[in-house]
Amino acid sequence: MQVYRFQKKPVDIPRTVVTIGNFDGIHLGHRELISAAVNEAHLRGCASALVTFNPHPQEIIHSQQSVSHICTSVHQLRLLEEQGLDEVHVIQFTSELSQMHPEDFALQFLIKRFDLVKLVIGYDFRFGKHRAGDFKLLENLSQQFNFSLEEIAPVQQKGQTVSSSLIRQLIREFRFAEIPQYLGREYSIYGKVEKGEQRGKKLGFSTANIFPEVTLALAAGVYVTKIKLAKKIYFGVTNAGNKPTFGNNTFTVETFIFDFEDDIYGEYLEVIPLHQLRPETKFLGIEDLKKQIMKDVKSAQKYLISKNLMSKNS
């Protein structure tokens, strides 16, 4: 899969079936949209392309409010590649772009950027200034510029419309077991393991650290987690937050993996929250923190045993 991170169009432009949106989480609704574009491209002997934005448009339009993300950026691209797309075009979203007339937006980022054979959009896709661009406008443009247009209906599960908003709500409410029926997979945080400040090692609990670089929907706190690393499954305790005891401001996902001592810096880790043990807390000192971590480990092991995910002899 080729990723383009600039606004000007590539030099060689194949005939292309395109879909467009934010695609946070790559949930079942997104997958329906993407598979429609990929399948159509295969049928027509075309390339398949997805257009998305960074940062999320709402982070620019409502700059006072942070947008919580289901996925890290690296996870989003990995999931998109798994859907079989040929190209992903990441457009830098700016305040100027948010003021663009819908027709100008469609011309610049879709019609003139691609040799557009077909455009596949979601039922709720809106674009341009005041989100005034809609299916009707695209339908008029499709007749003018000779491409076909398809709108994908919402995906329903358990009587609810699958959406990123619904999944964020489930994450905020710690209803992790319900998420796969809408997301199509377990909710997880995925990223490269990077060196932190080595405090965990000094405390006797070495951690694998991921720096998400986006605001996550997951609340700061301590979680029982399942960990996927190099096609193996482990369990552990994860602290997601800013480490207030040490006065940090960088949101970090730190995972203590049970019965694991390998050096995995630079490798990609997937951390799956199963249960929140407690909110993040500021402790008076390192000894208090160390005692609490020991309690957290025991609580996590007890939880895993109760769910038959760990034996009492582990």
| Domains annotated on the chain, with CATH | 2-161 (3.40.50.620), 188-306 (2.40.30.30)
In tens digits, the chain (314 residues) has pLDDT values of 888 886 565 667 889 999 999 999 999 999 999 999 999 999 999 999 999 988 777 777 777 777 899 999 999 999 999 999 999 999 888 888 888 999 999 999 899 989 999 999 999 999 988 889 999 999 999 999 999 999 999 999 999 999 999 999 999 999 999 999 999 999 999 999 998 765 555 566 788 999 998 989 999 999 999 999 998 999 999 999 886 555 566 789 999 999 998 889 999 999 999 999 999 887 767 788 888 889 999 999 999 999 999 877 66
Q: What is the DSSP string of the chain?
A: -EEE-SSSPPSS--EEEEEES--SS--HHHHHHHHHHHHHHHHHT-EEEEEEEES-HHHHHTTTSPPPBSS-HHHHHHHHHHTT-SEEEEEE--HHHHTS-HHHHHIIIIITTSEEEEEEEETT--BSGGG-B-HHHHHHHHHHHT-EEEEEPPPEETTEE--HHHHHHHHHTT-GGGTHHHHSS---EEEE-B---SHHHHHT---EEE---S-BSSPSEEEEEEEEETTEEEEEEEEEE--GGGT--S-EEEEEETT-----TTSEEEEEEEEEEEE----SSHHHHHHHHHHHHHHHHHHHHHTTSS-TT-
Does this model's pTM top 0.85? My answer is yes
